[in-house]
Amino acid sequence: MREAEIYKALGDPIRLEIVHRLSASSVSTVGELSKNLGISRQGARKQIQVLVDANVVHLEQQGRQTKVTLDTNTLQLARAFIVKLERKWDERLEALKEYVESNDSR
C-alpha cells in the first residue's frame, strides 16, 4: 500500500508544517521553507526529502534555488483512501443496525 508511505511522510509535525506552508503561503523554495522550523537548514532539507520520496512534493531546480511544489495527485490518493475507510465502516454499521432491527422483539 503506497498510502502508508504517504501517511508516514505526513506523520511528523515539521513535515506537516512544511506542507501546510506550501499550500497556504506563497513560500516555495527549499531555503525559505526551511526557515523558522526550529531545526537547521540541513535538517529541514532532510524532512523535505522525505516528502519528495513519498511523492507528496516535487522539486524543480531554478537557477541557484530549488522550487518545491505540492503533488495534488498524491494528496488525492491519501484522501480517497480515508474516504473509502469511512464509507465501508458506515456500510457495516448500517447493515448491523438493520440486522438488529429485524430481530428486534418489540
Partner DNA sequence: AATATATGCAACCATATGGTTGCATATATT
Check: CB of residue 3 under 8 Å from CB of residue 78: yes
Instruction: State in angstroms the smallest separation of the CB of 14 from DNA.
Output: 5
Of the candidates 11, 40, 58, 62, which one interacts with a second copy according to CB under 8 A?
A: 11
CB 57 within 8 A of CB 73: no
Measured distance CA(59)–CA(50) in Å, rounded: 12
Please say whether the beta carbons of 39 and 79 come within 8 A: no
Scanning residues 63 to 92, which ones bind a second copy (CB under 8 A)? 70, 72, 75-76, 78-79, 82-86, 88-90, 92
What does 36 bind: DNA, a second copy, none (CB cut-off 5 to 8 Å by kind)? none
Binders of DNA in range 24-63 (CB under 7 A): 29-32, 34, 39-43, 45-47, 50, 59, 63
Backbone angles phi, psi at 11, to 5 degrees: -85, 45
Find cell 523554495 and name the residue: 29
Partner from DNA, a second copy, none binding residue 58, C-beta < 5-8 Å depending on class: none
C-alpha cell at 58: 516535487
**Interacting residue ranges for DNA, rule: CB under 7 A:** 8, 12, 14, 29-32, 34, 39-43, 45-47, 50, 59, 63-66
